[in-house]
With several copies, the nearest count.
Chain A
Amino acid sequence: MFQRVLIANRGEIALRVIRACRELGIESVAVFSEADRDSMHVKLANQAFCVGTARGADSYLKIDQIIAAAEVAGVDAIHPGYGFLAENAQFNEVCRSSGFEFIGPSPTAMEKLGDKNTARSMAIAQDVPVVPGSDGLIADFDRAESVASEIGFPVLIKATAGGGGKGMRVAESPEVLKSQLEAARNEALAAFGNGGVYLEKFVERPRHIEVQVIADSHGNVCHLFERDCSVQRRHQKLVEEAPSPDLPDDARKAICDAAVRMIAGADYVGAGTVEFIVDKDYRFYFIEVNARIQVEHPVSEMITGVDLIQEQIRVAAGLPLSFEQSSLVPQGVAIECRINAEDPTKNFQPCPGKITSMFAPGGLGVRFDSHATTGYTVPPYYDSMIGKLIVHRPTREMAIATMKRALDELQVEGISTSVAFHHWILNNEEFLSGSVDTKYVDRAYQGQS
């Protein structure tokens, strides 16, 4: 097993990895920007190195500085967390060539799955259902027209290098196809330096259901069941839960098996998430693979009892998974609310600043993963998430009741948080009935408290 691991990240995920390291008896090494000098991950790590100034591009994205810190600290491996360099195949490569294990899949697997178009072909090869569409990039408008008429309108135009909704356009009818195609191309070019786009059937009222998977280097691939992440605002997840509130057992089995096939066919070692969209008839279509740990991994941990970060580290060290698929029996219902330093009544505008007073909720069934505390200043340079409030109770009804009281209990003074939104959604009929689709929040929420 590793003796020492460097965590190339900040905030709650850096803390999360430090916790896993401590429980495994591994020393943790933090890196930080000048803006994070007093941050909790710096306090709790065994060692910490400043790698640059505040802006992410000047610190957490500085591959040379992070590798230099790894060398000076003499670590065995590097955990990238999520965001920043987590899906950067070049960083992955540099870590390994510098003699550090990268806690994640190989650069090749990362690259292949990272390209939506390649990933789609892999899915088809593994008999994993995909949204009908252009198998490959759209060369020109003629090709777009023929594909669109073949699969039928409305069609979705997506950037092959895309993510987070950028370079994505819906063409409702043939009339707007050309204009939307060009819009998507330009946006993709600007955002990713790659204007390649493809077409697919636009699924109406889709739900976002993803499957947590983890694979070791001994050929074991296990899933930790699904997460429903349909509560999104502009493609940003706000609430996640496991299991899905509305998925028949046969559909659950089919989607989890499909995810395992996808990963088993990708020569993949580590934790990953296979994302699907699911229509009202529970037909599911592969969307993409996230070749990293995700923000919402705790809900899967809660219902299975498996520590996903510890398992990531184990498999990266060449050990087999500590469990077998058959030993996993999901228990109860887990829900996560992302607590962001944002004002939901002001269009979720970020509001960094000093937390003058904070009380973390406790009690039965409550888990609060956060690096924030009284006196902590939320810097303006990074994403606005200051914590994840997770509950785990025997039933969904109980879980919702526990989440409501934990949100009431959470006191954060000095900045605004997204708590008001969470109260709204937890009292929302659509949410309670489990029928929220990924566009619902954008349709229904206008800053109500």
Chain B
Amino acid sequence: MTSDSPRGGDVFDIDRIRQIVELMEQHELSEVDLQQADDRIKLTRGGTALPPAMLTPPAPVTAASSPTPASTPPPSTTTEGTDAPGTVTINSPMVGTFYGKPNPESKPFVEVGQAITEETVVCIIEAMKVFNEIPAECSGKILEVLVKDQEPVDFGKPLFRIQVDG
């Protein structure tokens, strides 16, 4: 689930470590653990880590079909630490099967590079025989599709990475 992995290269790079440590200090982080394949950077400060409940969860961008509009955190919480500023993810508002296309023959709802508005339907998630159209709920550009067609997804699963406008 953690998406903050080093951009490859030499994990022993002191400058990067210093930057991370300064980040930790100024942001009161108790631990940083970065890994990618065999690469790993883990830094710990002081004693206990924050309880998960207090960590920012991977939360859904509010969607019409969201089961929990009330408890949906603000969109900003879907910004990912290591991403360039202004990028968010659209997360699944439900458990189900992801469909990138309206039907097997037709082309995908959206493709990488495509501009989207809040109303743009980005995919369908099928659950209990119901096909739920998922609107983007934000406007910008598709940077990446994070799941494969017909892949099972659960609540909060990141589906698309978006470069938001402005």
Contacts and interface: CB of A to CB of B under 8 A. Distances in A.
Contacts of A138: none
A51 B51 contact: no
A358 interface: no
Interface stretch (B1-9, B102-110, B111-119, B138-146): B1-9
A353 B3 contact: yes
B51 A353 contact: yes
B53 interface: yes
Contacts of B4: 353-354
Of the four ranges (under 10, 10 to 19, 20 to 34, 35 or more), the interface on chain A belongs to 35 or more
Contact of A50 (B2, B72, B156): B156
A98 interface: yes
B50 to A, nearest CB: 8
A58 B71 contact: yes
A270 interface: no
B93 to A, nearest CB: 9
7 contacts: A52-B67, A52-B68, A53-B57, A98-B128, A353-B51, A375-B49, A381-B53
Listed residue (B4, B52, B72) with the most chain A CB atoms within 10 angstroms of its CB: B52
A377 B127 contact: no
Given A68-B127, A379-B51, A379-B52, A50 B67 contact: no
Interface string B1-20: 11110000000000000000
B120 interface: no
Contact of B67 (A62, A375, A380): A62
A354 B48 CA distance: 8
Contacts of A381: 53
Given A37-B1, A54-B53, A69 B48 contact: no
A98 B127 CA distance: 12
A65 B48 contact: no
Interface residues of B, number: 29
Contact of A72 (B47, B72, B152, B156): B152
A277 B42 CA distance: 49
B2 A72 contact: no
A67 B67 CA distance: 13
Contacts of A50: 95, 154-157
A421 interface: no
Contacts of B90: none
Of the listed residues A68, A98, A414, the one surrounded by the most CB atoms of chain B closer than 10 A to its CB is A68
A53 B157 CA distance: 12
Interface in B23-82: 47-53, 57-59, 67-68, 71-72
Given A38-B52, A49-B154, 8 more contacts: A38-B48, A52-B71, A53-B59, A59-B155, A354-B51, A377-B51, A379-B52, A380-B53
A381 B49 CA distance: 17
Interface in A8-47: 34-38
List 3 A-B pairs, minimum CB-CB distance, nearest first: A377-B51, A68-B127, A68-B95
A352 interface: yes
Contacts of B50: 377
B67 A65 contact: yes
Contacts of B59: 34, 53
B2 A69 contact: no
Nearest to B73: A53
A379 B53 contact: yes
A51 B156 CA distance: 8
Contacts of A52: 67-68, 71, 155
Contacts of B154: 49-51, 69, 72
B136 interface: no
Nearest to A49: B154
A68 B96 contact: yes
Interface string B123-166: 00001100000000000000000000000101111000000000
A352 B94 CA distance: 28
A71 interface: yes
Nearest to B151: A72
A53 B156 CA distance: 9
